[in-house]
Amino acid sequence: MTMIDTSEGEKAATAAELSSQRQLTGFARLLTAGAAVLSVALAVYLIFGVGPLLQWFVPLETQYFYVLLGLLLPIVFLMYPMHAGARGRTPWYDWTLALAALAIPLYFAVRGEAMLNEGWEYDSPFHAKVLSFAMWAIVLEALRRAGGTAIFGICLVVSIYPIFAGHVPGVLGGQSVAPEVTAGFHIFGTESVLGIPMNAFANLVIGFLVFGIALQMTGGGAFFLNLAFALLGGRRGGPAKVAIFSSGLMGSMSGSVITNVLTTGVLTIPAMKRVGFRPAYAGGVEACASTGGVLMPPVMGATAFVMASFIEIPYSQIVVAAIFPSLLYYLGLYLQIDAYSARERMKGLPLAELPRIGRVLLDGWFYITIFVVLMVMLLYLQREAQAPFYATAALLLINQFSGAHRWGWKDVEAFVVAVGRLFAELAAILAGVGLIIGALSLSGKIGSITYTLVQVAGDNVLLLLLMGAVTSFILGIGMTVTAAYLFLAVTLAPALTGQGLDKLAVHLFLLYWGMISFITPPVALGAYAAASIAKSSPMQTGLEAMRLGSIIYFVPFFFVLNPALIGRGEPLEIVIVLGTAIAGIALLCAGLQGYLWGVGALDGNGLFAWPARVLLALSGIVLALPGSEYIGYSHWELLEVAAALGVAGVALAWLGRRRPRPSPA
């Protein structure tokens, strides 16, 4: 019996994250820690209403946002070099940019009330206009360093679009806006840099980021991995099933696919290869499991919080709605792995090498308790902004009484610096992404783009959804998931909701399709990261991930066409839709992996095997497809078609497994 140690995986993930960053030392490290502490203190001050309670000063929301930007954007210029050759010591120009990124937002915060009263958004003093252009450039450069060249290029082009709208031909053409008005709208208004992404970061994301980092650094990753090995490691294909369970929980904590792959994959992928999984298949499993983790409640990454702010619903409702599709995704992944393991006659790891469930729970019971507390506060008490702070405080307090992961001062410092790094990176990306919404709002093109999309689709909901899926996938290649989601949320989502589709289902649909590029070639960043560990072909690993994660291509269509699949509908309707979806996914997995439970491997007579697999897969898709007015068929009509296809598939599968009787001697 051995307990699994994730320290090597966490070191690998940290090394990968820091490969493009500078090592913060001395004064820069102190500034990062100070920015993290002040940001959290300011968030607590406002979220918990300390000011009104003690009759102290209460800043305007815009002042709060400016202070956060002033604290965090300078860290980006200290963390990320201007180019790869400047990874050594921090040059003078980065210190200059950091100073400007501190001074300009803080000046705007001090003048916050004057800015509001005098309408700087539309007409500001000359010096403020100059500073607004400088701030615009600082946000874009911070975005380039933290988010990459691709998203920088997109945000740059879109942010300056209002200035040149009058020279753009076709449907995107419009009336040009003066450069100083565009800069003022971006920097002083509440629909651009200070818009929805920044609002979500300041009022929701900060607490959950702190909770996720605290959970990882107190040993939460090791606990969940040990729990997964104890529960599933000894079953057939056990290491792959461990990857599903552990990566789902780890991804929910980290919100990063790549970090998730590098943290858990260094343990699960070698274990999968050991019991017989091909390297590319093992990498594909880990990539799919890590991608789904970002969609798994209760912590789903920054995009879910941005969504809550955008559509103005409690985050708890998004958590509830996301539970069903994420579980269906993981169910499909689990069943495919089980079918593959059964067909290949794989075994699990020796029980003697696995941790005992009792010991694991005894050592880490408080992690489960903290998760329960968090869920109760989110779903029952409806205190989503405050819940992660309470959960983090309880976790850190309990951790100091545990022997295994008790912190010293060096651990506290590492935790604070890690928080500052993550805050700075995400603040830069979200502030830059806000420029997209600001430009589209200022130019007034949102309505015309929506109208054009509806005209092209001819009021065909399925065609609109396909257009949205393809666009989400393409944007997800070059942009962050948050940026891709927001762009479509302001352009395509109104067209879909205008056709009668459920608003929350539409926005979840866009979120899911923005994530799909992580496991879909030719990009497949999650699969490529897993391939580096599995020592397999990146393209082959991506293709395996695409097949294993195939459920994620269907589930968004299922729940957007019938929102009962995300828990929005009558109880009986929810039960019917969920039940048929589970049965359909099981049949689809059987067809994809060539193994039907109760029949066996579908690898007998070739005349029957492949037709059987195709019929079973088609039966599964039809059965999982929810009946709705948009499909044009009811549940029962789809059930009849699925039953006919399924019976034919099972019959062929059974015939394919039959062996000819020996002739009489």
pLDDT band at 40 (very low <50, low <70, confident <90, very high): very high
> What pLDDT shows up at residue 4?
54
Mean pLDDT estimate for the chain: 85
Mean pLDDT computed over 554-571: 88
Q: Spell out a b/e string for 151-181, using b for 16 or more CB atoms within 10 Å of the CB, else e.
A: bbebbbebbbbbbebeeeeeeeebebbebbb
Query: Is the model's pLDDT at 416 over the cut of 70?
Result: yes
The yes-or-no verdict on residue 298 having pLDDT over 80 is: no
Tell me what pLDDT residue 389 has. 93
Report for 183-197, 594-608, 645-659: range of highest mean pLDDT: 183-197
Average pLDDT over residues 377-394: 87
Q: Tell me which of 24-38, 64-78, 221-235 is least confident.
A: 221-235
Q: Which backbone phi and psi does 605 adopt, to 5 degrees?
A: -60, 120
Percent of the chain with pLDDT over 70: 91
DSSP string, 273-335: HHTT--HHHHHHHHHHHHHHHTTSSS---HHHHHHHHHHT--HHHHHHHHHHHHHHHHHHHHH
Range of weakest confidence among 1-10, 249-258, 361-370, 540-549: 1-10
pLDDT one-digit tens code per residue, 101-151: 999 999 999 998 989 888 888 888 999 999 999 999 999 999 999 888 888
Query: Which two tokens mark 212?
Result: 């996720």
More confident residue, 130 or 568: 130
pLDDT top residue among 7 and 106: 106
Q: How many CB atoms lie within 10 A of CB 1?
A: 10
Judge whether residue 253 has pLDDT over 70: no
For the entire predicted model, the pTM comes to 0.83
Integer Cα distance of 335 and 540 in angstroms: 21
What is the tens place of the pLDDT at every residue in 486-527?
Answer: 888 888 888 888 888 899 999 999 888 888 888 888 777 888
How confident is the model at residue 180, as a pLDDT? 93
Give me the residue spans of the domains in the chain.
7-198, 570-659
Measured CA to CA, the distance from residue 608 to residue 572 in angstroms comes to 38
661 pLDDT exceeds 50?
A: no
The SS3 call for residue 190 is: coil
- Examine the pLDDT at 665 and tell me if it is beyond 50: no
Q: What is the tens place of the pLDDT at every residue in 327-344?
A: 899 999 999 999 888 888
